[in-house]
Amino acid sequence: MGRRRWSPFAFTSVLLISLFVEARAFTHIKTSLCKWCDYSSPVCEDHVCTSNCNLTSFCTLEEEVCVAIWRKENETVSVRTLCHHPQQALDNIVLANYSSPMCTMLPQTWDSGLLFVCACVGDHECNDKLIFDKGVPGYSKINGKDVIPVVVISLVPPLLVAILATAIFYVYRTRHLGKQPKDWAPKRTNYQSLDPPEGRLGEANGSDYPGKLTLLGEDGHSDLSSTRANSLNHNTEQLPIQLEALVGKGRFAEVWRARLNHSEGQYESVAVKIFPAVEYASWRNERAIFSDANLKHENVVQFLTAEERGGGGGGSTSGGGGVGGPQRQYWLIMAYYTLGNLQDHLASHVLSWADLCSLAGSVARGLAHLHSDTTPCGAPKVPVAHRDLKSSNIVVKDNLECALCDFGLALRLDLSLTVDDFANSGQVGTARYMAPEVLESRVNLEDLESFKQMDVYSMALVLWEMVSRCEVIGEVKSYEPPFGSKVCEQPCVDSMRDLVLRDRGRPDIPTSWTTHQGMQLLCATITECWDHDPEARLTAHCVVERFNTLAQEEEEERSLLNQSTDIITDQQNQQNQQHQNQHQHQHQHQNQNQNQNQNQNQNQDQNQNQHQNQHQHQQLELEDEQQQTEEPEEQGSTTTSAPPSPRAERDSGTGTDMDTGMDTPSQPSPTSDTQASEPTKALSEV
């Protein structure tokens, strides 16, 4: 049987039929065909602008509509075109009037400049033609023939200024700069310095000690004040940063320790958070959070700048595995803290009660600042919900205080936003630290306080981690995260839902922890913060007040202890003074007794002298009387006896009574014996 041949007519018919079927299938596609460019420069005339986007794509879902976002920032106009579901918020913008076939631009609130948004459906590429009801902002109605003169006239002044600036710069470089001294400090680019740099200063001038580069701020101190921390680098030139070592890696980005070079041999250490191109949304969200000047606080990580870096541009990289290649990257440059994050610090340190109060109180103060609608100075501020608070997203400063970081999932709680703006803020965060209402997907989007209550629950788990490593609880076990023994290392949402919702599980607080009076109050605060009912939880400001109360009580106890110590010291001093007085009194009494004894001895000596004098006087009187009685007898005897010898005459004239009595052989009369015995009797009486 021969092979049948196809005629040219039949072949052409089959081809036409297949093309017709494909065309019919193409026309039955129900999704919208839209312009889709992340960035394009529009062309405007009168009330209409053309997106000037060269890419077109069908929307993925039938419900999606064509959207165009027109921005004007610092005289730069750009248009972003895409497909988007109208029921979901787009960059915190609610789409309105999206059923029109024409893309009519509607103004929106934006802090950085002008913002117009439109949505349309029906016609193919309806978001290519942008219609402004009141004319295109910043574009004047000029006829075509007048464009060239106006452009020329408008370009003359900037051209003259540029020429003059170039000439001045050339003169400065060739003449003045060559005369500057060698120790002239290098010029700084337009960014703020962070904490005191740790680097090799070598022989740099102006340093007090080697190995450190001291950068003085406005207040004369080397660390950056929290009021000067957050700033954006608007320079076209990228900062001279050299990556050194990878210190952390998360779901969205990597964190590197880097060197911010100032001049040869001078640098300061900074932390660089590097987002890949696919995580541009996270980088943009965190940059938007940091760009709020009112976010600055001593317990919030210090932010330096944000940069977009391409494949071969930017600073050099090093440290083994440095970032390179053609892929675009997005950087956030912040302060570097040598003590690392709180989780690593708790794993390697046991806290004292003072350290616990310092770390926990600073976490509460940082979160209270995020949730507050005013700054500490009273200025209005947009509250921020962190939504991923955990110990690994908190860094420890050198003064043993904490600073909150990682705002990739943070949400600005702007009162002008509606429920639809928060519709895409569902289950976010880390499953281990998710609040019960987040695990159950029943967050009340109509109440902005519900986002703050989620953060308070996560903070309670962080406080529990710190308490479990404090020495005042008694036996301190090795570090483990919340629910460490009840779930796996990386628990999923389902396992946490069973543990937290079904079993109402919470980390254990043994009774031995509450023996310390301050720890008892802290554990009660933790229990109130992780309550199952969000409305029953404490606010971050209440937790700060609890810590303030705790500090006041401890201060009062210290003051009472000091007072009691002073009282005891005074009593001891009084007792010592009394003992000294008694000792002095006894010493004086002894001295008085000694003086009295001396006086008595002197009196006795005087009495003895008096008695001796009286005795001698009496003895002399007796001798005189004896002599007088002996004289008549001698006169009677001279009549019968021979005359006395010359010796007798001499003795009778000059001798004493006692010698006369001894030389006389005659016996004394009875009267003289009686008188002689009287002095002896008086002497014996004495």
Query: Which residues contribute to the annotated binding site?
Result: 273
423-to-83, 404, 429, 508 alpha-carbon distances in Å:
18, 26, 16, 35
- Residue 167 and residue 173: Cα distance in Å, rounded? 10
Q: Which two tokens stand for residue 414?
A: 């702007």
| Cβ(271)–Cβ(336) below 8 Å | yes
- Residue 223 and residue 196: Cα distance in Å, rounded? 5
Instruction: Could you list the residues known to form a binding site for ATP, using ranges.
Output: 273
The residues pairing with 190 across neighbouring beta strands, listed in sequence order, are none
Closest alpha carbon to 434 in 372, 360, 495, 365: 495
Q: Which two tokens stand for residue 390?
A: 């955990």
Residue owning tokens 């001894």:
662
The kind and range of the H/E element at 609 are helix 540-637
- Concerning whether 388 is annotated as a catalytic residue, the answer is yes
Helices (H), 115-146: none
Looking only at the bridges linking them, the beta strands covering 103-104 and 129-131 are parallel
Q: Which two tokens stand for residue 634?
A: 């001698």
Q: Which two tokens stand for residue 131?
A: 């219609």
Residue-wise burial string across 157-181, b where 16 or more C-beta atoms lie within 10 A, e elsewhere: eeeeeeeeeeeeeeeeeeeeeeeee
Q: How many residues does the chain have?
A: 686
- Residue 624 and residue 680: Cα distance in Å, rounded? 16
Residue owning tokens 């009196």:
603
Burial tier of 684 (Cβ tally within 10 Å: 0-12, 13-18, 19+): exposed
C-alpha dihedral, 176 to 182 to 185 to 188, nearest 10°: 60
- Residue 82 and residue 93: Cα distance in Å, rounded? 14
- In degrees rounded to 5, what are phi and psi of residue 519? -65, -30
Cβ neighbours of residue 231 closer than 8 Å, sequence gap 6 or more: 191, 192, 303, 304, 305
Q: Pick the catalytic residue from 195, 388, 406, 455.
A: 388
- In degrees rounded to 5, what are phi and psi of residue 459? -65, -35
Closest alpha carbon to 198 in 184, 214, 212, 180: 212
The residues pairing with 116 across neighbouring beta strands, listed in sequence order, are 70, 107
On the CB side of 210, CA atoms within 13 Å amount to 2
Distance of CA 567 to the CA centre of its chain: 37
Active centre residues (catalytic): 388
